[in-house]
Structures are given as C-alpha cells and as structure tokens.
Structure 1
Amino acid sequence: MDLNELSEYQTRSTITLARQDQLGRDTKYDPFEHRNVTHPTSTVGSFFHLLKSSLGSGLLAMPAAFKHIGVIPGVFGTALVALIATHCVHILVSTSRALCEESRVASLSYAETCEKAFKYGPKIIRRFSTHVRHFADFAMAGVCLGGTSVYVIFIASSLKDICDHFYPSHVYSVKTYCGFLLLPLILTSQIRHLKFLVPFSLLANLCLLLTFLITCYYTFQGIPSVGPDKLAVRVTQWPLFLSTAIFAMEGINVVMPVENEMANPRRFLGCPGVLNVTMVFVATLYGVVGLFGYLKYGDEAQGSVTLNLPQDEILAMVAKILVAVAVFFTYCLQMYAPLDILWTRVQSCISVNYHNLGQVVLRTLCVALTVTLAIAVPDLELLIGLVGAIFFSTLGLLIPVVVQTAHCWDRDLGPYLLVLWKNILLLLFYLLVLVSGCYVSVTELVAKFS
C-alpha cells in the first residue's frame, strides 16, 4: 500500500468512526439497560423499603400535629402535604432519569442529580454545579442530624416516663436524660459498616411494629365525641402542623438508592407505580393515626402519642419501653449517612495514620452535637416542628424544585411556562413552611422556657 492509499484509508476510517460515534450519540440512551446491580430489589421489596423510610417516629407525632390545625383542615392538610411530597419525589426521579440519558450513565445519586442538573443547565449556572452538590450533601447530613436530635428527645422522654413510674422518688428532667444518653449513643455510633447494623434494624422494626399495635389498642378505645373546638383551631398554629407533617412523611433521602437498585425501575413511577401506592398508603395511615389520636387525647396530645398512654398499666409501659429501644437502635442507623458524608469531606485533610482516630473524634462530635441540640430544645413537639421546617423542607421541597427548574430552563418549561409557574408556587410553599414554621416554633420555645 503506497502513501496515497494509506492516507485515503486513514481518512475513510476516521470518517467511519466519526459517523459511528454520531450514530451512538443520536441513539437514545436507556439507562435501565445499562444498570448492573449485583443484588437488585424486587418491586414488592422496593415498596417496603420506601414504606419503611416514611414510617417511623413521625407517625407517633401526627396526633400532636392535628392538635395545631383541627380535624377538618387536618384531613385536607395531610392529603395536601402527601401530594406535594409525592410530586417533589416524582420530579426529582424524572429529572434524574433525563440526566442519565443526557450524560449516558446508568444511575445517579441524589447529590449527583443536583450537580448534573446545573452542569447541563443554563450556562450562567454551570459554574455552581460543584457547590450545589456540596449543598445537597450537607442538606442530607442536616436532615439526618436534625432527625437524630429528635430521636434523642424521643428516647429521653420515654425514659423519663418509665423511670418516673418505677422510681418516683428520683425525678429528673428530660435534659438530664439526654445527658445520660450521650455515652451509649457515642458507643453505638462507632459502628462503621452497614452490615453490622442489620440486626439493629430488624430489632428496631419489630419494636416499632409492636409499639404501633399497642398504641392503636389504646387510641381506638373510648373515643369521645367531636366537639366544635376540635374541628379547627386558629390559623397561627397551622405552621406547626405543616412542618410536623413534612417531618413525618418525607423519606426523600432514600428515594434514589431505592429506585437505582430496583430490578424493574420502570415500575417506580407511573400509575399505580411503587411511589404512588406507597404514598397513598402512608397518607392514609398518617391521617387515620393523627385524626383518631387527636380525637382521643385532644389538646393533651404530646410529641409522641406513646407519652399519652397510661402510666399505671403494664401494656402501656411495655409500649414506652419498646419505642425507646426502637428509636435508640434507629439512631445509629440514621447517623450512618451523615457520618459517611462528613468523613468523605474531611478524610483528605487527615494523615492516613490518624484515620481511625479521626473517625472516632468525628463520630463523637456529631453525636455530641445532636445531644446538645436536644438539650437546647428539650420539647419533642417543638423540635420536630423546627427540624421539619428547616431541614426536611429544604431536602424534600426546595432542592427538587430548583433541580427541575434548572434542567428544564433551556429545554421545555411546558405550555405557557406551566412548569415554571408550578415550581414558583412550590417555592412559595417552601418559604411559607420555612419562615412560619421557624417563627412559630421559636416563639413557642421562648414562651415556654422564658
């Protein structure tokens, strides 16, 4: 082959490769066909994973949430919060899938979705993509740390009820019990591998199930008639309902892992779909527990309905012990994600020889932070409202709305900019929850402890 023939051959090869590459780019990329999950989760298994993330200590707080809004607006409010939470999860997952097609990757995590939405969005915001990813990570860590602070109050309040009954001569405050919990929580949080936490998860789920059954046994007995004062309360208290309901229902931090590991991810969205079926069940259960718990205990409903159970009956005391055990073991599970995120950020600043010590110090400081927050706000009901207004609303409302808007800005905002107007309304709802929830919670705290 002479030089001319060689040159012509190379030119044809280059053109052929370019055409093949362009053809590959033009062919729609299906991320589902490229996912290689070692142990995929079935559709039913995904339903239970998502259900477990939405059912927890927040369920026991729903009667107190209804106390701040009343029966009629409480029923509609629960449906509204569930609808908004479901929609925000839907737009997050839809945006993540679209970004997977554009970037030609099989799956994206929550933080990666946020980063790529800005990276492939309008030019003016692309330089912020890394910062957005860090913000999403820290928002996730904030949700977990704030939620675990609520867990500390849950455990401390239950322990106080139990010890006050068995040792009436030694009565301590909730703050004191939070202090007692510091060392045990530090020790359990030193577990660094998720597989060692599986037995704790099973035990916690069993205890929560038994607690829920016992609570229902007491709640649905002797429900008084509905008085006009229970139909609705003053509007100034409604923000505490919104922030508590958002705290209770938001499980968006586990949505992407569940969807990414499904054997058939096409069944996650759509009708019926795993997401819709789960949220309908969750909204119904939360509405029923909140409604009948409020009808049963009225304005005496506490941050955890188990605290309203009688202290002189063995079955009720068993429920309080079980919920304390369940939340204690759930604490170390919930701390796993924020500790992993924070350690990823700081490990490069620490010498490899001191990594073990660094992990111990970091985990100890994080647990101390959650206990300190619990001591600073020792009211379970108000702490749930505060954490829900700040952290859960940011992760579950603000970020999905911003991510979808950034992704659709140069593509398709719908007829008459429908997507943009809808997201503006959701953003206003987020600001309402954030500002009003924080204001009412702080005002109530100042009034209670001043």
Structure 2
Amino acid sequence: MEGLPQISREGEQSSDSAYVVSIERKKERASAVNGALSPQQECGKSIAGCLALLLGAVIPHGGLLSNSFSLASASLGAGVITLPWAFHACGILMGTLYLILMTVFTVYTITILGYVMEKTGYRAFEQMSRGTLGKGADYLMAAVMGTSCFGAAVAYVIAVGSLITPIAQHSTATPEFFKLKKGIRLLVCLVWLLGMLPLVIPKEVNTLRYFSAVGVGFVVYFVILVVIHACQNGLPKRSEVQIVSTGNIGMEGLGTFVFAYLCHAVAFQVYFEMKARSTTQLLLSATLSMTVCSVLYWLVGVFGYMEFGREVKESVLYMFDPVGEPLMMVAYVGLIIKLCVSYALNMIPCRNTLYYIIGWDINNISYWKHIACVTLVSTIVLVAGLFVPRISTAFDLAGALCGGFIGFIYPALIYMYSGGWTLKRVGWFQYIMTYTSLFVGVICVVFGTGATIYSNFG
C-alpha cells in the first residue's frame, strides 16, 4: 500500500511532462504557422548558412576559381578517358607536343574572344559571328556548334556506358540481365534521368560551380590512381611505346586532343557572369584551367599507355576491374558525377544555339519552355548515345571537324574582322598567333576529319 502514493506521484509527474511536451509541440506548430522557426530549425538554418558562406568564400560566384573550374570542367570529361588511346595513336612525343600546342592556342583563342566580347558586348558565338563576319556566318556557326555539342553529348553518354560496363560485368552480385547490352543501356538511361537531365535545367553556368569543383576533384583522383596503378605493376608495356606514330592513325588521334580542350562556348557564359568583367581575368582563368588540364591529360595518357601498350582500348575504363579494386570503384562513381556535370556544361551552348535559331532569349524565355526544350534535346542525345558503337568516332569527328572551326578558325576570323585589327595596333605576337591559329584550324578540319572518316568508313 505504501507503494501506491509513489506510483500515483510518478503518474502525475509523467502526466505533467506529457502536458509540457504537448504545449511545446503546439508552440512549434504555431511558430511554423506564423512563419517563425523552432530552435532546431534555426540551428539547421545557421549550419546551412555557414556552409553556404564557406563555399561562397572558397569558390565565389564569378570569381577566378569559379571561372577556372567551369572552364576546366567543360574540358575535362570523357576526353580524359581516351587519352591513353590517343597517345598510342600519335606516339608519346607527338602526344606531348599536341598537348603543349593545344594549351597555348586554347588560352590564346579564348583571350581574343574576350577582347571581342569586351569591345562589342556580343554574348554568344552566333551573335558574334553575324556582327563581325556578316549575315549567314551566324547560321554556319550555329550548325557547327550544334554538331559539336551534339557529338560531345553523345560521347558523354557513351562514356557513362563504359563506366558502368566493367562494374556490372566484374560483380558477382549483378543479375545476368544487367551484364547484357540492353541491361547496360537501361542503367545508362537511369544515370541520364537522375544525374544528367536535372543538371541541364539551370539557366546559368555558375549554378553548377560546386558540382564542377567536385567533378574536377574526382578527375584528379582518377588520374592519381592511374599513375599509381601503372607504377605498382611496373609499367609492363613500356617496351611497346612508340615515340612517333606514322600513317592514318597518327592523324586520327589529333581529333581527340582537339576535343579535349573544347571549352570556348562556355567562355561566353564565364565572361558575362564575372563580378568584374575583364579580359585579364578571362586570360588568367583560361591559363590556370588549361594548364591543370594539360598536366592531368599527360599523366593519364602516358602512364595509361605504358601500362597497357597496344592493348589499350578507346576508353581506358574498360582496362580496370573496379569491383576488385575499391579505390578504383570510388573513382568510377566520381567520374559518373563528373560526366554528368560535363554533359550539363556542354548542353549550355547547345541549347543557346537552338534558342538563337528559334529566336528565343535565354534571359526572357519562360521556364517551362526552357525545360521542355532541353529535355527534348537531351532525349535525342540519349538515344544516339545508346547506339553509337565507338566513343572515338564521336570524339574525333566532334574534335577535328567542329573543334577546328570553334577552337581555331572562328576565333581568329572574328578577331580579325572585329575592327581595328592591324599589325601596328595588335603587335607582332598577336598578328602571328592569329594567323597561325587560322592555319592550324584548317589542318585539323581537313586532315583530322579525313583520317577519321577513312578509319571508320574507308
């Protein structure tokens, strides 16, 4: 009997605590209805705010790092996985020379595009072509840009398949259906739906700057793993390495190198989203991003070639076992993220070209029209990517044919015809470099495209 009062008090205390909790919950609900935040919500908001401030301080909107990451992310992508094959096609000496020349000319052509943007205010390749080269040049540019972006986007979809294939085939837990071509295609469709398509929807390139930074980080991680993997195996095929390759295959690899540096269309978005627009800032961003890209390209190309020799495939991803090597599995997952970002950055100039032909303004178009348009284009790209057999075909054609125009010929001609382009005004360096860019572009278009067509259809 003595225990009963104690039990009663505990019940009263329990009842009181439940009453207090009930009142607190009612207060939280009332606060939510009135627009106020609970202490837990305030804490979450402050943490998110601190994280946003930290990221904004490290990679500020329109800053040097943001611009560099955008340019590097537009260049780094599926190209990095084909560099070992490209070095096999061209030889180590020619491959290294191609990388150096592409770095110099890419930085130069982006810079002269910056001069024209600063002078004229043109915000896109098509608009700039029409204003400087005359009526009709804009539609030719639109056709070249559309073909280039379409080919690159198809290559990114194929690259996702080359990432998924070794994972599915080496895993014992994978159902047999997903080891077949149709199963791989279904997985590629899921990656496209969940990873690629959502990143295409934002209108501004700076929206993707955090994804770009993460993507570039994963590429660096992958390159380091390739170097370590090759060194641990003792560079077994280094005796098969050629210094210079001759014949058609040597020219066929040229398109891959050109494609690996195509980021000129993104330069417009980068320049006009700067906090303080400056050609010097664009030059620094291009120099930093292209130098980093070149170092990564050389490392993955040379060490991948020395490890696999003549057996290296067009995508080096087929040469590894990500299931048996957990560190490589992390790299594969990271590269899928990187390809999604590169795909989105590539679709920006693609959609801008389409909008130019239709007559839409990206800043004024309603969002539902924008979403419908990019979804339709992305779906067409997906279907093409599922059925094009070779990734090098997409790279070489997009790089040699379209890259020659976009990366060399058009920037040189636009700069020449933008007004005031004389030897006395621009100086010997720019005068020689502009004409050399034009000449190199013609070589890429004629010989690179010819070699690719001969290799695939000859």
Does the alignment pair 1:47 with 2:68?
yes
Find the residue that maps to 2:165 and give its secondary structure: helix
Q: Larger deviation: 275-284 or 170-179?
A: 170-179
Q: Are the equivalent residues in 2 in contact too, given 1:153–1:174 (CA < 8 A)? A: no
Does residue 177 of the first structure (1) align with residue 184 of the second (2)?
Answer: yes
Separation in structure 1 between the aligned mates of residue 83 and residue 255 of structure 2, nearest angstrom: 11
Change (3 A) 1:263 1:395: same
Q: Give the distance between the partners of 2:304 and 2:438, measured in 1 at CA.
A: 31
Checking the alignment, whether the CA contact within 8 Å between 1:208 and 1:322 is kept in structure 2 is yes
Aligned to 2:242: 230
Distance in 1 (alpha carbons) for counterparts of 2:138 and 2:88? 38
Aligned residue for 1:153? 158
Q: Which runs of structure 2 are paired with 1:314-325 in the superposition (5 Å)?
A: 314-325=326-337
Taking a change above 3 Å as real, the CA distance of residues 69 and 240 of structure 1, as seen in their structure-2 partners, is same
C-alpha displacement at 1:393, in angstroms?
Answer: 2.4
Counterpart of 1:117 in structure 2 is 132
Distance in 2, Cα, partners of 1:173 & 1:430: 41
In 2 relative to 1, CA 299–280 (structure 1 residues): closer, same or farther, beyond 3 Å?
same
1:376-405 superposed Cα distances (whole Å, 9 cap, x missing partner): 532123321122112222211121012122
Tell me by how many angstroms 1:80 deviates.
1.7
Q: CA deviation at 1:64?
A: 1.4
Instruction: Quickly say closer, same or farther: Cα 1:292–1:205, change in 2 above 3 A.
Output: closer
Greater mean deviation of Cα atoms: 66-75 or 188-197 = 188-197
Confirm or deny: 8 A CA contact 1:204 1:326 kept in the other structure.
yes
| Partners of 1:82 and 1:279 within 8 A in 2 | yes
For 2:254 and 2:410, locate their aligned partners in 1 and report how far apart those are by CA, in whole Å. 18
Partner of 1:10: none
| Among candidates 385, 393, 396, match of residue 382 of structure 1 | 393
Selected match of 1:326 from 338, 343, 349: 338
Shift of residue 363, structure 1, vs aligned partner: 3.5
Structure 1 residues 305 and 115: CA distance shift in structure 2, 3 A: same
* Greater alpha carbon shift after TM alignment, 230-239 vs 323-332: 323-332
Shift in alpha-carbon separation, 1:165–1:90, aligned structure 2, 3 A: same
Q: Secondary structure at the match of 1:233?
A: coil
The change in CA–CA distance for 1:422 and 1:331 in structure 2 (over 3 A counts) is closer
| Residue type of the alignment partner of 2:162 | S
What's the TM-score once normalised by structure 2's chain length?
Answer: 0.71
Residue in 1 that maps onto 2:14: none
Note the C-alpha offset of 1:74: 1.8
Q: Please, what is the CA RMSD of the aligned residues? A: 3.8
Contact 2:404–2:442 (8 Å) recurs in 1: no
Native 8 Å contact 1:186 1:367 kept in 2:
no
What does the per-residue CA deviation read over 1:178-215, in whole Å, with 9 as the maximum and x for residues that have no partner? 46534663575366334776775566455444434433
Q: Is the 8 A contact 1:144 1:335 kept in 2?
A: yes
**SS across alignment from 1:407:** coil
- Rounded to whole Å, the distance in 2 between the matches of 1:199 and 1:43 is 14
Opposite residue 189 of structure 1, the aligned amino acid is L
**In structure 1, which of residues 232, 239, 262 is the aligned counterpart of residue 251 of structure 2?**
239
Provide, for residues 13-66 of structure 1, a one-character-per-residue CA deviation record: whole Å limited to 9, x for no partner: xxxxxxxxxxxxxxxxxxxxxxxxxx8633344334433333333223221110
Paired position in structure 2 for 1:13: none
Rate the CA distance shift 1:194–1:411 in 2: closer, same or farther, 3 A.
Answer: closer
The CA distance in 1 between the partners of 2:321 and 2:187, in whole Å, is 25
Partner of 1:3: none
CA distance in 1, matches of 2:225, 2:67: 27
Q: Are positions 1:92 and 2:104 aligned together?
A: no
Name which of structure 1's ranges 234-243 and 261-270 shifts more when overlaid on structure 2.
261-270
Equivalent pair of 1:151/1:331 in contact (CA under 8 Å): yes
Partner of residue 230, structure 2: 219
Asked if residue 193 in structure 1 is aligned to residue 195 in structure 2, the reply is: no
Structure 2 counterpart of 1:233, one-letter code: S
C-alpha distance in 2 between matches for 1:92 and 1:202: 24
Instruction: State the partner residue of 1:9.
Output: none
Q: CA deviation at 1:248?
A: 0.8
1:343–1:359 contact (8 Å) kept in structure 2: no
Structure 1: gaps spanning 5 or more residues: 1-38, 119-124, 349-354
Alpha-carbon separation, structure 2, partners of 1:367 and 1:316: 29
Identity across matched positions, percent: 20
Amino acid paired to 2:351: L
TM-score normalised to structure 1 length? 0.72
Distance 1:324 1:212 in 2: 15
Quick check: 1:42–1:262 contact (8 Å CA) kept in 2? yes
Q: Quick check: 169-178 or 210-219, which moved more?
A: 169-178
Distance 1:210 1:287, change over 3 A: closer
* Equivalent in the alignment of 2:137: 132
Give the CA deviation at 1:79: 1.1
* Aligned residue-pair number: 386
User: Structure 1 residues 390 and 369 mapped into 2: Cα distance closer, same or farther (>3 Å)?
Assistant: farther
Give deviations 1:51-108, integer Å, cap 9, x for gaps. Answer: 33333332232211101111122222221222222222232222333x34xxxx5x74
CA drift of 1:245 comes to 0.9
User: Which one is further off, 146-155 or 295-304?
Assistant: 295-304
State the shift of 1:346 in Å.
3.5
Q: Aligned residue for 1:342?
A: 354
Distance in 2, matches of 1:374 and 1:238, equals: 26
- Distance in 2 between the 1:411 and 1:199 partners? 39
CA distance in 2, matches of 1:289, 1:217: 10
Letter in 2 for 1:117: T
User: 1:181 corresponds to which letter in structure 2?
Assistant: V
User: 1:205-216 counterparts in 2 under 5 A?
Assistant: 205=216, 207-216=218-227
Match of 1:71 in 2: 92
Cα distance in 2 between the residues matched to 1:86 and 1:307 = 32
Distance 1:92 1:390 in 2: 20
Preserved contact between residue 250 and residue 396 of structure 1 (Cα < 8 Å):
yes
Q: 2 CA distance for matches of 1:331 and 1:90?
A: 24
Partner SS, residue 251 of structure 2? helix
| Higher gyration radius (CA) | 2
1:404 and 1:43 mapped to 2: Cα distance? 24
Q: Distance in 1 between matches of 2:326 and 2:177?
A: 20
Q: Which residue of 1 aligns with 2:21?
A: none
Contact 1:243/1:433 (CA < 8 Å) preserved in 2? yes
Q: How many Å apart are 1:325 and its aligned residue?
A: 4.0
Which aligned pairs between 1:361-376 and structure 2 lie closer than 5 A? 362-376=373-387
